[in-house]
Chains A and B, each alone.
Chain A
Amino acid sequence: MSWDVYANVVIGGILTGLVYGLMALGLSVIFGVVRVVNFAHGEMMMVAMYLAVLGCGTWGVDPLWLMLPLAALMFVLGYALQSLLVHPFMTRPDHAQFMLLVAVGMILTNGALILFGPDARGVQVDYALDSFEFGPLLIDKVRLYAALAALAVAAALFGFFRLSATGKAIRACADNYRGALVVGLDVRRLFALTFGCGTACVGAAGAMLVLLGDVTPSLGPAYTLLAFVIVIVGGLGSMAGALVAGVLIGVSEALAGLILVPSMKSMVSFGLLILVLLFRPQGLLGRSA
């Protein structure tokens, strides 16, 4: 095989990986601040994907235009979930929180099954098969648009945490919980905002992912697991780490599909996970504890 085949596969992997990275970023932000592991992350993504499919099918809107409304809607859902349901569990042991969010995930999966049935649904856009040509390189339009949108959302979130007063207050909560209470931060509200930001990432990523593949109700756990692998490889709580690891997983899965067989691509990402856990347990860009 000539080099341009590899180059095309790598580029495709990078672009898909950025969307994965955005999804994982949501998980990382929630864990980094609220210290709750969102075991319903992939299920929320599945819900966002169905909403994108519905919006696209009903009104014929391009899913990329649905990205912001979906992010806003998922923000509200995440905010409500944290302040009403997760918050009372904050002082309970980890396994209680774990079961709570696993239960939320199961409810979402089975709710989708009741509403939409088990069959795969997808969207069609008129530029689905278009691509940009740069010499021998072919870049899918959908992938490129989705990846650029993912980068934009990630940059916006990064800017929010670095520059806005609320973002700084959220980082303060993550840095020293007692300190946050001492200076009078409304920790409950800030945690709900953070959870909302995390699920908004999922909403935006969901709108992009329907362009790259179909959605079924059972997709949730696979995406939860994928988000976990990415976050652990990148470093828990590191925003840049989530994007970098997303790209790494995207590329390695794409290359594995080309060099080995497509059904073995998960082996590569889990292999990567094991290597990271063995040799750099804090993750590629994580701070050592």
Chain B
Amino acid sequence: MLSGRGAGVSTLLSVEHLDLFYGDAQALSEVSLDVPEGAITAIVGANGAGKSSLIRTIAGIERPRAGRIVWRGREIQGRASHEICDLGIGQVAEGRQIFPSLSVLENLEVGGHLPRARRFKSDGLAQVFALFPRLAERRSQAAGTLSGGEQQMLAIGRCLMGRPELIMFDEPSLGLSPALVGEMFRIIERLNRKDGLTIVLVEQNVAASLELAERAYVLETGRVVMSGSGAELLNDDRVRAAYLGL
């Protein structure tokens, strides 16, 4: 594996030899990766490669059978999902997972329910509404009535309300129009560059996510088969053939 890590950059999260099973079926085997603090780390791979499983395992929603997950030097595998969120590991899940019958404002408030974030609810709301003025306009509307793009903004805003240090994005561009996909990548870039958030980006849009990422991993059938900087993978012939159709 390439190390690719610059001097002075510390590892915020690392995953070591992670195994995950659903019943007898192995979803992840021996997965190891490092997420440098302040960077964008992309995880790419085909459908069913285990990208979402990996995110769900880091988030504490799935229990790994073996391996370690280390956050700021502490082992966190096996902890409950609400404890992991409260460490500052946020998630914008696949399919957005908003609360459709709650209002936009209530969705955001629930996002700020984490103990680490409760004192900052009003600051958080101001920040989210500044980032997404559209959500402020629709604050009392039921979230289920929002358009797909607005729901994705809400999912991101709800995650920000929990004051995360790391956000794991699972397929944020799925189901969005091409114009909105570009917007989504600009938002992710802004959260990283301007707000200093560490990002893990799982995307089917391989080219765009590799362009953005300092570090990237390729997953195939539950294993890490390649890693390097985003630029390195973007120029790798195997990646170009398998994922970029070049």
Contact = CB atoms under 8 A, between A and B. Distances in A.
Interface in A158-191: 165, 168-169, 171-172, 175-176, 178-179, 181-188
B162 interface: yes
Interface string B71-100: 000000000111011100011010001111
B110 A178 contact: no
Interface residues of A, number: 17
B84 A184 contact: yes
A176 B84 contact: no
Interface string B156-168: 0011001000000
A186 B60 CA distance: 12
Interface in A175-215: 175-176, 178-179, 181-188
Contacts of B90: 184
A183 B159 contact: yes
B61 interface: yes
A168 B110 contact: yes
Contact of A178 (B85, B93, B109, B114): B93
Question: Which residue among B82, B100, B109, B158 has the maximum number of chain A CB atoms within 10 Å of its CB?
Answer: B82
* A contacts with B: majority SS: helix
A168 B110 CA distance: 7
A179 B61 contact: no
Nearest to B89: A184
A148 to B, nearest CB: 30
Given A165-B113, A168-B102, A179 B82 contact: no
Contacts of B81: 181-182, 184
Contacts, number: 66
Contacts of A176: 97-100
Contacts of B111: 183
Given A165-B109, A165-B113, A168-B110, A184 B86 contact: yes
Interface string A46-77: 00000000000000000000000000000000
Contact of A186 (B82, B93, B102, B110): B82
Nearest to B99: A175
A187 B81 CA distance: 9
B59 interface: yes
A89 B59 CA distance: 23
Nearest to A170: B110
Nearest to A177: B97
B106 interface: yes
Interface string B39-50: 000000000000
Question: Which residue among B100, B107, B113, B158 has the maximum number of chain A CB atoms within 10 Å of its CB?
Answer: B113
A61 B97 CA distance: 50
A179 B82 CA distance: 12
Given A169-B110, A169-B113, A172-B110, A186 B97 contact: no
B113 A181 contact: no
B101 interface: yes
Contacts of B106: 168, 171-172
Contacts of A181: 59, 61, 81
A172 B99 contact: yes
A175 B90 CA distance: 20
Given A168-B102, A169-B113, A187 B82 contact: yes
A171 B113 CA distance: 13
Nearest to B113: A169
Interface in A69-105: none
Q: Which 8 A-B pairs have the closest CB atoms?
A: A184-B85, A179-B97, A175-B99, A186-B82, A172-B110, A182-B93, A184-B82, A172-B99
Interface of A: 165, 168-169, 171-172, 175-176, 178-179, 181-188
